[in-house]
Amino acid sequence: MSATAIRFDGVTLGYGRRPAVHHLNGEIAASSLTAVVGPNGAGKSTLLKGIVGTLRPLEGHIRLIGASNVPVAYLPQAAEIDRSFPLSVYDLVAMGLWSRSGLFGGVGRKDRTKIEEALAAVGLIGFERRPISTLSGGQMQRALFARLLLQDSPVILLDEPFTAIDARTTADLLDLVRRWHAESRTVVAVLHDLDMVKRAFPKTLLIAREPVAWGETQDVLSAENLLKARRMVEAYDPHAHECHRSAA
């Protein structure tokens, strides 16, 4: 049996006691490559926030196994990142070292080498001193992936990492995702492109505020399951109170 990286035990996540994801039980295997898909408003981003710990469950528990002493590497949606902050590409990427060296740990020779290697891996050599406010969407995403490289975490969470970027950048960054998978890291990505999911992600969780299907991608992404998910989200009552259905 595969080792477990993330376990959900009767998890309900929400805001103001109103559930956004509920009745989630299951496991994400260590070293797996998993897509999280579902209609708009299905709770996909909420789920990642619960895993990374920025949102505490209303009910149940999320357990990260084997990574308790290493922060999870998390890439939020582009809309959540303030690009007006006066920061260079180099400094943004170097922030990936903070989890290990601390905010005031300084950057030594070995760290500078790691930063240069990360910039090279995402094709941003020569962009080191560029303010992040001047970057295109694709260039910014490359810089954020370089920061993830430096975090060197066994668990990587990506929230819509390929949205609104060019095809070349998407292909390059997807290659990095495959590289992490080959290095036996656990990667979980919220995605909308179902064709990409079918091509590149062996496992898929389909949610519509609660799990619809979870397992092998080719089985999960059936027309029947996708229709069920859409109908579940359309039927959602935003004024409903938190429910307390016990896990089966």
Fold of 1-72+154-165+184-248: Rossmann fold (3.40.50)
Q: Quick one: CA torsion of 126, 141, 67, 20, rounded to 10 degrees?
A: 170
Q: Tokens in use for 174?
A: 């997807």
Q: Which residues pair with 207 in a beta bridge?
A: 211
Residue 205 tokens, joined: 């969780």
Residue 9 three-state SS:
strand
Alpha-carbon span 50 to 132, nearest angstrom:
28
How far, in Å, CA of 135 to CA of 93, rounded?
14
Tens of pLDDT, residue by residue over 194-230, are: 999 999 999 999 999 999 999 999 999 999 999 999 9
Query: What is the structure's pLDDT at 244?
Result: 52
The residue behind tokens 């656990």 is 186
The structure tokens listed for 80 are 């959540």
Residue with tokens 């001193």: 129
The structure tokens 């020569």 sit at: 126
3-state secondary structure of 85: coil
Q: What is the pLDDT at residue 120?
A: 97
Residue 71 to residues 14, 112, 154, Cα–Cα distance (Å):
23, 21, 9
What does the domain layout of the chain look like in residue ranges? 1-72+154-165+184-248, 78-152
Q: What is this structure's pTM?
A: 0.91
Contact 233, 40 (CB under 8 A): yes
The CA distance from 141 to 170, in Å, is: 9
Would you write out the chain's pLDDT as a tens digit for each of its 248 residues? Answer: 569 999 999 999 999 878 899 999 999 999 999 999 999 999 999 999 999 999 999 999 999 987 556 689 999 998 788 888 889 999 999 999 986 655 445 677 898 999 999 999 999 999 999 999 999 999 999 999 999 999 999 999 999 999 999 999 999 999 999 999 999 999 999 999 999 999 999 999 999 999 999 999 999 999 999 999 999 999 876 665 555 554 33
Instruction: Assign residue 38 a region (left: φ > 0; alpha: ψ between -120 and 50; beta: otherwise).
Output: left
In which element (H, E) is residue 107 found? Answer: none
Sheet with 18-29, strands from edge to edge, namely: 18-29, 4-15, 59-64
Residue 128, number of CB atoms within 10 A of its CB: 15
Instruction: Check residue 106 and give its pLDDT.
Output: 63
pLDDT of res. 248: 37
